[in-house]
Structure 1
Amino acid sequence: MIKILIRDRNRYFQQGMENILEDFGLNRLHKKICFEYLLSRNTISEANIIVMDLQPGEGYLCHFDLCRYRKGIFLGIQEREMPSIHRLPNCFRNASIITRNTPMQSVRQEIVHAWETYQPDLSVKCSACTCKFLSKQQLSLMRLMLDGKNEKEIADRLNITVATIFSYKYQIMKNFSLKNNQELNAFIRSYLLHPW
């Protein structure tokens, strides 16, 4: 049996991926597929395949449990191309990253290729990781933004200028390759409310 951990906020896309993976398991591997939807240390360690959507910027963050994942392949789903694989943290170095507009035939080929060429990389260590972190002030800013505060309210609360608020926002957007406020807001929700 092949255990697949799948999490995608887009239920239609997730259903399509489940169909592709079920076909892959039955017709290519001749094994039954068992889907798991709850992200936890146990489900991550037991999965043969992990499929997970990544919000803008999320691919640059540390996912400690994924870094220790050595059992199978990881398929990350993005809205758009990530700028450079060399900027990714170690937990995503061996991942297959696809975009939502990747043709299904290409997704199938990517899954087959990843499965056939998979070799655990035992050299991956968190100590040499290039993942991005946020400062305490940036985290405070993000929490207040998540609470719906505007720039003036945030500046008053943190006892800094509105210009500094814009500077922090710019730095976050630059470091995590976020293109607009919509992506910034999705990143904030993902970062602060993430189930990891």
Structure 2
Amino acid sequence: MVNVLINETETLYCYALKKLIVDLFGTQFGCEIEFMTEFTRENISNADLMVLSLCRGEPFICTPELLARRKGVMIGLVNGEHYSKETLPACFQEMVFVSRDAPLSDFYRVFSSAWHTLQRHEESRINPVCAECQHRTLSPRQTVIMASLYQGLSTPAIAQKLKIDSKTVYAHKYDVMQKFQLESDHHLQALLTRMRDKNMQINLLRECLKA
């Protein structure tokens, strides 16, 4: 039995992933599959294979739920971007990335490799040390500005609200885009949504949005 956790919001894409995994693990490898879709600490702890849909820049930020991981292989679905493992938080350094629109052959290769890793019990677990984690965050000023942008305020409105120059607002936005390797306002909005929803004990962006 292989416990597979899929964290994917698009219903049809999730269905296609399940079908691929059943076809590969079930038909070719003769293994029973138990799917889980709730991204909870219990499911993360029990998962042999996790498939996580990630927006651009998300692998750089803290995902506290992953501290519950005890075993298995992680596959990250991205949108064509590339990440150097040395720049990622400890929880993500074992992740194998594949582009969402990659050829089907790439998915079979990645999932086949995951299967063989599970069979050989080679999933050497890293015990993350949060105090030493190099995940990326927003500074307090960036948090306030990003929250205002997320709420739809214009740059001049944010500058007036915070009593700063518009160029300062642009500079902070530029720094955030560079820090998380974002290429568009759409990428920024998607990442801020994920940041808002992160289950951190202290989520400054979420608190700022509530204010």
Same fold (TM over 0.5): yes
Of residues 177, 182, 194 in structure 2, which corresponds to 1:178? Answer: 182
Moved runs in structure 1, 4+ residues, more than 4 A? Answer: none
Contact conserved, 2:41 with 2:68, CA < 8 A, in 1? Answer: no
Aligned position for 1:85: 85
Q: What do the CA deviations read for 1:61-81 (whole angstroms, capped 9, x no partner)? A: 122332442311111000112
Q: Does 132-141 or 21-30 show the bigger shift?
A: 21-30
Q: In structure 1, what is the Cα distance between the partners aligned to 2:64 and 2:71?
A: 15
1:126 deviation in Å?
Answer: 2.8
Q: In structure 1, what is the Cα distance between the partners aligned to 2:29 and 2:88?
A: 30
Q: In structure 2, what is the Cα distance between the partners aligned to 1:74 and 1:28?
A: 21
Q: What do the CA deviations read for 1:170-193 (whole angstroms, capped 9, x no partner)? A: 011001000111111111112113
Q: Does 7-16 or 101-110 show the bigger shift?
A: 7-16
- Map residues 39-118 of structure 1 onto 2, 5 A cutoff: 39-117=39-117, 118=122
Give 1:23's aligned amino acid: D
Q: In structure 2, what is the Cα distance between the partners aligned to 1:58 and 1:195?
A: 14
Structure 1: 5+ residue stretches without partners: none
1:106 deviation in Å?
Answer: 1.5
Pick closer, same or farther for the CA change 1:108–1:115 going to 2, 3 Å: same
Structure 2: 5+ residue stretches without partners: 201-211
Using structure 2 for the length normalisation, give the TM-score: 0.84
Q: Does 75-84 or 112-121 show the bigger shift?
A: 112-121
1:25 deviation in Å?
Answer: 2.8
- Any idea what SS the aligned residue of 1:178 has? coil
Q: Does 116-125 or 3-12 show the bigger shift?
A: 116-125
Q: Does 116-125 or 70-79 show the bigger shift?
A: 116-125
Percent identity reads 26
CA RMSD of aligned residues (A): 1.9
Pick closer, same or farther for the CA change 1:61–1:72 going to 2, 3 Å: same
Contact conserved, 1:6 with 1:51, CA < 8 A, in 2? Answer: yes
- Any idea what SS the aligned residue of 1:105 has? helix
Using structure 1 for the length normalisation, give the TM-score: 0.90
1:13 deviation in Å?
Answer: 2.1
Pairing 1:157–2:161 present: yes
Aligned position for 2:144: 140
- Any idea what SS the aligned residue of 1:26 has? helix
